Amino acid sequence: MNLWTGVLPAITTPFNTDLSVDHGTVRSHVRWLVSQGCTGIIPCGSLGEGATLSQEEKAAVMRTCVDAVKVPVIPGIAALSTAEAVQLARAAEEAGCAGLMVLPPYVYSSDWREMKAHISAVLRATKLPCLLYNNPVAYKTDFTPAHLAELAAEHDNAVAVKESSTDARRVTAIRALLGDRLAVGVGVDDCLVEGVDAGARFWVAGLVNAFPAESVRLFELALAGKKQAAFELYRWFLPLLRLDTVTKFIQLIKLVQQEVGWGHERVRGPRLELAGAEREECLRVLREALANRPAL
């Protein structure tokens, strides 16, 4: 089973009115995403509000996803401390997850020596294949191609990278240095076509939570090199995809999900639901997209 192919939704975490995790909605949502052609599920990541979930809640979400679908479940592994990240990686393996998406530590970011030690500790704690998550915009830690090569040389289970630097040239640079040693995926929604054109072979996506059929079709067209058809669908999708690239991406995507009938806009603090002009602008973008939704 190839984990690193197709569209892998980084799922949101739905909450009940008391802000406990709504496992029923988790279950129905991931089943719907898979039914629309998604090839794996990534819970507990940034979009999943992983920083607001306890270790026990993360493990429970993992188990719900593993029980709900037959595709690979690849949870985000992120924590404030290295010890917590190691504990979470082991919990994911116990839950039956197929792989891990390994993030740098929350809050603290420093030099390569410290970041390498953190990631290496997680990689040593599991036998599962691991996706290294590079997102210098959000986490202030940049895993350069040379850094990735170091990790790949020292850890056999470092097998893929989610490249979210927003620079499609990074995909080319990783492939030039590492060849096929690491599978490369796009981690920024509005860089999908450019990333695939540069050689990325999977997409860790956000707006897929509300638009899985369109996401899967866009990825397929890009991968097949059908540039004109991909461009036409991309042009329609871009105003929505750009919601994934700003500070309030979680609130925006959850609001879009709510409006299309697949979730609720509830978020955990410190986030608050959108209000005023921000909320209205998101709804305007969505209304325009729905009014011009293409036939697939």
The separation between CA 228 and the C-alpha centre of its own chain, rounded to angstroms, equals: 26
For residue 2, pLDDT over 90 is answered with: no
pLDDT band at residue 168 using 50, 70 and 90 as cut-offs = confident
| Residue 62 to residue 54: CA distance in whole angstroms | 12
pLDDT in tens, 59-116: 999 999 999 999 999 999 999 999 999 999 999 999 999 999 999 998 888 999 999 9
pLDDT in tens, 126-167: 999 999 999 877 778 889 999 999 999 999 999 999 998 888
| Residue 189 to residue 238: CA distance in whole angstroms | 8
pLDDT in tens, 249-262: 999 999 999 999 99
Residue range 172-201: mean pLDDT, rounded: 95
Give the other-Cβ count within 10 Å of 223's Cβ: 18
Is 158 within a domain?
yes
Is 249 within a domain?
no
Catalytic site residue from 108, 127, 140, 162:
162
Mean model confidence pLDDT for the chain = 96
Q: Would residue 162 show up in a list of annotated catalytic residues for this protein?
A: yes
The domain spanning residue 171 has which CATH number? 3.20.20.70
In sequence order, which residues have a C-beta less than 8 Å from that of residue 174 and are 6 or more positions away?
145, 148, 161, 163, 182, 184
pLDDT of residue 1: 61
pLDDT above 70 coverage of the chain, percent: 100
Is 86 within a domain?
yes
Is 282 within a domain?
no
Stated pTM of the model: 0.96
pLDDT of residue 228: 97
pLDDT in tens, 25-37: 999 999 999 999 9
What b/e sequence results for 269-281 when a residue is b if at least 16 CB atoms lie within 10 Å of its CB, and e otherwise?
eebeebeeeeeee
Is 137 within a domain?
yes
pLDDT of residue 136: 79
pLDDT of residue 166: 83
pLDDT of residue 106: 86
Q: Is 204 annotated as a binding residue?
A: yes
**Domain tally, the chain:** 1
pLDDT in tens, 61-71: 999 999 999 99
Distance separating the N- and C-terminal Cα atoms of the chain: 28
Lowest-confidence segment of 16-20, 168-172, 215-219 by average pLDDT: 168-172
Is 287 within a domain?
no
In sequence order, which residues have a C-beta less than 8 Å from that of residue 40 and are 6 or more positions away?
3, 6, 8, 9, 71, 72, 73, 74, 98
Question: Domain residues for 140?
Answer: 6-236
Is 288 within a domain?
no
Is 256 within a domain?
no
Tokens of 237: 């999708």
Catalytic site residue from 133, 139, 234, 254:
133
